[in-house]
A = this chain, B = another copy of it.
Amino acid sequence: MSKPLILITNDDSIVAPGIRALIEVMKELGDVVVVAPDSPQSAMGHAITINNTLKLEKVHLDKELEQEYSCSGTPVDCVKIAVNEILKRKPDLCVSGINHGSNSSINVIYSGTMSAAVEAGIEGIPAIGFSLLDYSWDADFEPIKTHVKQIASEVLKNGLPEGVILNVNFPKLSKEEIKGVKICRQAKAMWQEEFDKRTNPQGKEYYWLTGKFVNLDKGTDTDEWALENGYISIVPVQFDLTAHHAMQQLNSWEL
């Protein structure tokens, strides 16, 4: 039996420690192809490059890999070009990450890591986004490697329901402190923006976007609750955005 074909991407760029850790784990599960951004692409959401060209560079950061590429585009571009220009067949799994920082709750919307996984899902590939709640470049991925492997193995074994991908977030804890895995719903949360207004040397004003994450959800079945209480959160995510429950009400409007 041939080994599973696994496509790996991320949004922190191909040299990020998070993707290198993910590659290490996935090599134990199958044949790995890496196509990842040549520069950081955090918070790019589901952006694609239509008004500019894309560059693809074969690289050899991992001597054991035959196919490793850096791409000038967004995470979603990476998945598209991998599927259409590099891979000879549809991969059995696409994994994105491991992101340096949380993609829980509403962050799923802004996340390049998750958008790459969603894009793979749209193309019919079972897909998982992995994120660790540690923004540091020196984040320690060792404690979560066995969990990453186990979750990916289960997806390879069971597949995923059509139109569903997984958003997996890990608390920043030691292996012993992690209490287990919880299947969760996305917590209701938002970012409270604070724009940092400055003046440039020419006297012109400009802004930096900063913000504070606010969890508006008291539920104990959410990803935020799981992570705060020492669990790994897995949220099944869909890209059919239809709010079916709202359709009846809209049908009563005068339109």
Contacts and interface: CB of A to CB of B under 8 A. Distances in A.
A68 interface: no
Query: Which 8 A-B residue pairings sit nearest by Cβ, starting from the closest?
Result: A45-B46, A45-B45, A236-B246, A238-B243, A236-B243, A181-B255, A185-B242, A54-B207
B253 A109 contact: no
A84 B234 CA distance: 32
Contacts of A151: 255
Contacts of A45: 44-48, 76, 115
A70 to B, nearest CB: 13
B239 A81 contact: no
A150 interface: yes
Nearest to A223: B242
**Majority-rule SS of A interface residues:** mixed
B42 A84 contact: no
Given A161-B246, A207-B54, A110 B185 contact: no
B243 A161 contact: yes
A237 interface: yes
Interface centre among A77, A151, A206, A209 (most CB of B within 10 A): A209
Query: Which of A186, A205, A243 counts the most chain B CB atoms within 10 A?
Result: A243
Interface string A48-88: 11110111100000000000000001001100110111000
A236 B180 CA distance: 36
A208 B54 contact: yes
Contacts of A28: none
A206 B53 CA distance: 6
Contact of A158 (B180, B190, B197, B253): B253
Interface in A166-199: 166, 180-181, 183, 185-186, 188, 190, 193-195, 197-198
B190 A85 contact: no
Given A193-B83, A241-B237, A247-B183, A118 B122 contact: no
A42 B53 contact: no
Contacts of A83: 193
Given A45-B45, A161-B249, 10 more contacts: A43-B48, A43-B50, A47-B47, A48-B209, A53-B206, A83-B193, A122-B190, A164-B243, A180-B255, A183-B247
Contact of A50 (B50, B163, B209): B209
